[in-house]
Amino acid sequence: MSSTIVYLNGQKVDYENAKIPVEDRGFLFGDGLYEVIHAYDGRFFYMDRHLARLQDGAKEIYLNLDFGIDNLEKICRQAVDECGFADTSVYIQVTRGAAERQHVFPENIPCTWVVIARESKGNPEEFYETGITCITVPDERWNRCNIKTVQLLANCIAKEKAKRAGSYEAIFHRGGTVNEGASSNVFIVKGGKLFTHPADNRILNGITRGIVLEIADANNIPYSEEVFNINQLLDADEVFLTGTTTEIMPVVKVDGKIIGDGIPGKITRMLQEKYNNLKQTVNR
């Protein structure tokens, strides 16, 4: 029987009994990192890249992954094998651990780390066929968006604004410059060329974002990692979002403005096809 599987600090526990101390720093300060990895029919989709990003983030915030990255990988694979779902979403969270509340980092305490493997239900197929709508919102996050921390309140507020507006995603902008979505990266297509924000401190360098650039490179689609503004976003021939759970999502309307012809574009469709082919083969 298929079920959600939880490992807490390397030990398998029932979902209902998975508990952390009240003074865990992830709870008190948002002092932690996370990753979401997809497994298609039991095959991990670029887990190696997700774990490498986790390690990079840990270095940025001076977090010692004391449980070992190889051990984490083993637990992820066990959890997917045990949960029994065809498509699985694996959530990883690592915090600095539990200690008496103080702002400075405590010394010599173990990390709190959790792996949750559950069924990935995905998005409605119609979203990929007909496209979705977005709104734009001011980017009120901190300036280290390249680190995948659990500090996501600004993202949650933006998502709620999108939901209340009847849209799928909120696209962050700072001074008119488009950065990324609340839980996705943003691409535009203009004149047959892809554009996406550079992988600097203003965005998370998404794993799917990188895969899309590799697909573009392999298929002679020109692209540029450079900033673009809201006017260029609204004037684009095509717009799409990327992300682990989003995959490649066509956008047909932003802030009420129809994008291109109001249907998913040719380049978006081609990238979706190539990406879906990878889903059937990649096991890393």
Nearest alpha-carbon partner for 72 in 41, 44, 108: 44
Domain boundaries, the chain: 5-119, 125-279
Q: How does DSSP classify residue 149?
A: B
Q: Are 160 and 124 in contact (CB under 8 A)?
A: no
Domain 125-279: give its CATH code: 3.20.10.10
**41: pLDDT confidence band, cut at 50, 70 and 90?**
very high
Whether CATH 3.30.470.10 fits 5-119: yes
Check residue 47 and give its pLDDT: 97
Contacts of 10 (CB under 8 A, 6+ apart): 67, 71, 75, 113
Nearest alpha-carbon partner for 172 in 209, 142, 208: 142
If you average pLDDT over residues 258-283, what whole number do you get? 96
Report the percent of the chain where pLDDT is more than 90.
Answer: 98
Q: Are 66 and 110 in contact (CB under 8 A)?
A: yes
Check residue 217 and give its pLDDT: 97
Pairing assessment for the beta strands 193-196 and 223-225 based on DSSP bridges: parallel
Q: Are 170 and 230 in contact (CB under 8 A)?
A: no
What is the Cα 6 distance to its own chain's centre? Answer: 20
User: In the predicted model, what is the mean pLDDT of the chain?
Assistant: 97
Q: What's the pTM? A: 0.95
Q: Count CB neighbours of 36 within 10 A.
A: 18
Calpha distance 55→82 (Å, rounded): 25
Is 206 a residue whose pLDDT tops 90?
yes
Check residue 27 and give its pLDDT: 97
Helices (H), the chain: 25-29, 47-60, 69-83, 125-130, 153-164, 207-218, 230-234, 266-279
Calpha distance 65→19 (Å, rounded): 20
Which residues are known catalytic residues? Answer: 148
**78: pLDDT confidence band, cut at 50, 70 and 90?**
very high
Two structure tokens written together for 212: 């899309």
Nearest alpha-carbon partner for 66 in 86, 91, 104, 96: 96
Is 1 a residue whose pLDDT tops 90?
no
Check residue 2 and give its pLDDT: 79
Per DSSP, the residues of 247-273 read EEEEEEEETTEEPTTSS--HHHHHHHH
**In this predicted model, what pLDDT tens digit does every residue of 3-17 receive, in sequence order?**
999 999 999 999 999
**219: pLDDT confidence band, cut at 50, 70 and 90?**
very high
Check residue 75 and give its pLDDT: 98
**In this predicted model, what pLDDT tens digit does every residue of 143-181 receive, in sequence order?**
999 999 999 999 999 999 999 999 999 999 999 999 999
> 20 burial class (0-12, 13-18, 19+ CB within 10 angstroms)?
middle
If you average pLDDT over residues 102-127, what whole number do you get? 96
Calpha distance 239→255 (Å, rounded): 13
